[in-house]
Amino acid sequence: LAAVGVTRYKSKELSRKQSQQLELLESELRKEIRDGFAELQMDKLDVVDSFGTVPFLDYKHFALRTFFPESGGFTHIFTEDMHNRDANNKNESLTALDALICNKSFLVTVIHTLEKQKNFSVKDRCLFASFLTIALQTKLVYLTSILEVLTRDLMEQSSNMQPKLMLRRTESVVEKLLTNWMSVCLSGFLRETVGEPFYLLVTTLNQKINKGPVDVITCKALYTLNEDWLLWQVPEFSTVALNIVFEKIPENESADVCRNISVNVLDCDTIGQAKEKIFQAFLSKNGSPYGLQLNEIGLELQVGTRQKELLDIDSSSVILEGGITKLNTIGHYEISNGSTIKVFKKIANFTSDVEYSDDHCHLILPDSEAFQDVQGKRHRGKHKFKVKEMYLTKLLSTKPSSSLLGKHPEEPPVCL
Each residue's pLDDT tens digit, 205-234: 888 888 889 999 888 888 888 878 888 777
Q: Which of 139-143, 196-200, 255-259 has the highest mean pLDDT?
A: 139-143
Percent helix, strand, coil in the chain, to 5, is: 45, 10, 40
Secondary structure letter of residue 75 according to DSSP:
G
What span, in angstroms and rounded, lies between the C-alpha atoms of 128 and 189?
26
Please write the tens of the pLDDT for every residue from 363-414.
Answer: 887 764 444 443 444 444 444 556 666 666 666 566 665 554 444 444 443 3
Structure confidence at residue 75 (pLDDT): 55
Instruction: Report the pLDDT value the prediction gives residue 241, as an integer from 0 to 100.
Output: 93
Taking 60 as the threshold, does the pLDDT of residue 53 lie above it?
yes
How many Cβ atoms from other residues are within 10 Å of residue 216's Cβ? 21
CB 130 within 8 A of CB 68: yes
Q: Give the closest residue to 340 by CA, choosing from 259, 244, 266.
A: 244
pLDDT digits (tens, 9 = 90+) for 55-91: 788 888 888 888 887 755 555 566 554 444 445 556 7
Of the two residues 280 and 161, the one the predictor is more confident about is 280
Confidence at residue 413, expressed as pLDDT on a 0 to 100 scale: 39
Confidence of residue 21 (pLDDT cuts 50, 70, 90): confident
- Count of C-beta atoms within a 10 Å radius of residue 315: 6
Q: Determine how many CB atoms are found less than 10 A away from the CB of residue 224.
A: 21
Amino acid 46: pLDDT: 55
200-202-203-207 Cα dihedral, nearest 10 degrees:
130
- Residues 43, 222: contact at Cβ < 8 Å? no
Residue 239 is predicted with a pLDDT of: 92
The residue with greater pLDDT, 169 or 199, is 199
Long-range contacts of 27-36 (CB under 8 A, 24+ apart): 28/385, 29/387, 29/390, 32/390, 32/391, 33/390, 33/393, 36/390, 36/391, 36/393, 36/394
Asked whether the predicted pLDDT for residue 298 surpasses 50, the reply is yes
